[in-house]
């Protein structure tokens, strides 16, 4: 049942209220199953923030082999959650219908490599001594190529396919495994009884923003008001999720993904705060969602240097700060945070 946007009666003048205005219906497709890393969006949905901004939002969770990005390109959804800048750039290189990133919710890429705590591996460079690195093909084709170009000693022979099970990593103390700092360390601790050491690639120059709000350029040009309201409401949702009462957002996450537990959600929130995944860098001064132009340029140049991306692409055409960097929601951040 579609909701309507209530309009209060004119104070003390009329006994009857004006007719309700219909909300603008939009669909947001994510790139994975509902989890704490999507918390601000579910918070804005569950606590009425989207509705307060005049929006009726449907969230379609992603997952393995999800066609959600294709839904955006086909015009079936209005917004999509892109993982980081690589996928949008690849899309532009392949002449897919023009897209644009309108907000960068994560200032840091939460991708990490996990190592055994007694392995003696403490830095990215130390990982060259490992015999195996478990990673998906997409990470091998992008992150690992950047690693080889950045740190001498990495070898293709180290590559082992990651099949979303930590068992091979747990069994091999001379290995590493890809993961998100907000989830995989928790899973390994639960299954193996030890806390893996996390090596965050963002700390070594893989400085793409992450968890981007993406839409078709044509949609942003013809519906800038809806884009602005969706971005603003999402940002407010993230401030509330990180610093306020996030119980409604967490309940919505568990409803969308029954396998999600309270402990894992709490761990994800704790890690997002500890590592400044969302609220750090330029976001501290200009608000969540803001793109750091210098970092975007550096990341593109690094990927070109590693042979991951082709040179000659004007990366500034891929994103815009038109809808962000306005300090929306910053009053919801406690004075002592982050």
| CATH number for the domain that contains residue 158 | 3.40.190.10
338 within a domain of the structure (yes/no): no
Instruction: Give the model's pLDDT for residue 95.
Output: 67
Instruction: Give the model's pLDDT for residue 12.
Output: 36
Asked whether residue 227 falls in the same domain as residue 299, the answer is yes
Residue 17 in this model has a pLDDT that exceeds 60: no
Instruction: Give the model's pLDDT for residue 232.
Output: 98
Mean pLDDT for 193-200 is: 96
Residue 132 in this model has a pLDDT that exceeds 80: yes
**Mean pLDDT taken over the chain:** 92
Q: For residue range 85-101, list pLDDT tens digits in order.
A: 998 998 877 767 799 99
- Look at residue 75 and give its three-state secondary structure: coil
Instruction: Give the model's pLDDT for residue 94.
Output: 77
Mean pLDDT for 284-288 is: 97
337 within a domain of the structure (yes/no): no
Share of the chain above pLDDT 90, in %: 87
- Which of 169, 204, 239 delimits the end of a domain? 204
pLDDT greater at residue 236 or residue 96: 236
Mean pLDDT for 276-281 is: 97
Instruction: Give the model's pLDDT for residue 251.
Output: 98
Q: For residue range 109-122, list pLDDT tens digits in order.
A: 999 999 999 999 99
Residue 153 in this model has a pLDDT that exceeds 70: yes
Residue 78 in this model has a pLDDT that exceeds 50: yes
Asked whether residue 136 falls in the same domain as residue 223, the answer is no
Instruction: Give the model's pLDDT for residue 93.
Output: 78
Q: Which of 209, 265, 213, 210 is nearest to 241 (CA)?
A: 265
Asked whether residue 271 falls in the same domain as residue 313, the answer is yes
Burial of 52 by CB count in 10 Å (0-12 exposed, 13-18 middle, 19+ buried)? Answer: middle
Residue 2 in this model has a pLDDT that exceeds 70: no
- Which of 204, 232, 255 delimits the end of a domain? 204
Residue 19 in this model has a pLDDT that exceeds 70: no
Asked whether residue 231 falls in the same domain as residue 327, the answer is yes
Contact predicate 298/207, CB 8 Å:
yes
Residues 6+ apart with CB under 8 A from 191: 166, 167, 170
178 within a domain of the structure (yes/no): yes
Asked whether residue 191 falls in the same domain as residue 324, the answer is no
Asked whether residue 26 falls in the same domain as residue 93, the answer is yes
Instruction: Give the model's pLDDT for residue 20.
Output: 55
Instruction: Give the model's pLDDT for residue 228.
Output: 98
Residue 28 phi, psi dihedral angles, 5° rounding: -115, 120
Asked whether residue 192 falls in the same domain as residue 285, the answer is no
Residue 5 in this model has a pLDDT that exceeds 60: no
- Which of 184, 204, 224 delimits the end of a domain? 204
Using DSSP bridges, classify how beta strands 210-216 and 79-84 pair: parallel, antiparallel or unpaired.
antiparallel
Mean pLDDT for 168-180 is: 97
Asked whether residue 164 falls in the same domain as residue 290, the answer is no
Asked whether residue 195 falls in the same domain as residue 215, the answer is no
Q: What is the pTM of this model?
A: 0.91
315 within a domain of the structure (yes/no): yes
243 within a domain of the structure (yes/no): yes
Band of residue 11 on the pLDDT scale cut at 50, 70, 90: very low
Residues of the domain holding 117: 111-204
Using DSSP bridges, classify how beta strands 132-135 and 197-200 pair: parallel, antiparallel or unpaired.
unpaired
Q: For residue range 241-253, list pLDDT tens digits in order.
A: 999 999 999 999 9
Q: For residue range 52-62, list pLDDT tens digits in order.
A: 999 999 999 99
Asked whether residue 70 falls in the same domain as residue 116, the answer is no
Instruction: Give the model's pLDDT for residue 82.
Output: 95
Task: Record the tokens describing residue 270, joined without a space.
Answer: 């704790």
305 within a domain of the structure (yes/no): yes
297 within a domain of the structure (yes/no): yes
Instruction: Give the model's pLDDT for residue 91.
Output: 83
Instruction: Give the model's pLDDT for residue 65.
Output: 85
Number of domains composing the chain: 2
Asked whether residue 168 falls in the same domain as residue 71, the answer is no
- C-alpha distances in angstroms, 268 versus 37, 83, 131, 170, 185? 7, 17, 29, 21, 10
Residue 10 in this model has a pLDDT that exceeds 70: no
Asked whether residue 316 falls in the same domain as residue 253, the answer is yes
168 within a domain of the structure (yes/no): yes
């Amino acid at each position: 049942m579609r909701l309507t946007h209530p309009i209060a009666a004119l104070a003390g003048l009329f006994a009857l209220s004006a007719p309700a205005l219909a909300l603008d219906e939009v669909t947001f497709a994510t790139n994975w199953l509902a989890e704490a890393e999507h918390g601000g969006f579910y918070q804005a949905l569950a606590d009425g923030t989207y509705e307060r901004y005049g929006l009726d939002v449907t969230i379609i969770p992603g997952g393995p082999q999800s066609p959600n990005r294709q839904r955006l390109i086909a015009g079936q959804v209005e917004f999509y959650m892109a993982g980081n800048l690589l996928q949008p750039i690849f899309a532009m290189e392949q002449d897919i219908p023009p897209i644009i990133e309108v907000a960068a919710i994560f200032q840091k890429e939460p991708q990490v490599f996990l190592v055994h705590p007694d392995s003696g591996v403490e830095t990215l460079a130390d990982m060259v001594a490992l015999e195996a690195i478990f990673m998906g093909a997409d990470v091998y084709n992008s992150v690992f190529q950047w690693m080889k170009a950045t740190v001498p000693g990495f070898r293709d022979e180290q590559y082992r396919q990651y099949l979303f099970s930590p068992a091979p990593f747990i069994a091999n103390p001379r290995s590493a495994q890809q993961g998100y700092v907000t989830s995989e360390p928790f899973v390994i601790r639960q299954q193996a009884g030890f806390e893996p050491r996390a090596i965050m690639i963002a700390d070594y120059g893989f400085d793409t923003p992450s968890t981007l709000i993406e839409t078709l350029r044509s949609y942003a040009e013809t519906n800038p008001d809806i884009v602005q309201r969706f971005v603003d409401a999402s940002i407010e949702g993230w401030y509330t999720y990180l610093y306020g009462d996030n119980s409604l957002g967490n309940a919505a996450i568990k409803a969308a993904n029954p396998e999600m537990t309270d402990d894992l959600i709490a761990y994800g929130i704790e890690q997002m705060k500890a590592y400044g995944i969302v609220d750090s860098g330029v976001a501290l001064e200009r608000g969540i969602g803001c793109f750091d132009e210098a970092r975007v340029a550096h990341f593109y140049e690094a990927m070109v240097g590693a042979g991951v991306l082709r040179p000659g692409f004007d990366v500034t055409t891929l994103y815009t700060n038109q809808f962000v960097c306005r300090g929306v929601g910053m009053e919801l951040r406690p004075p002592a945070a982050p």
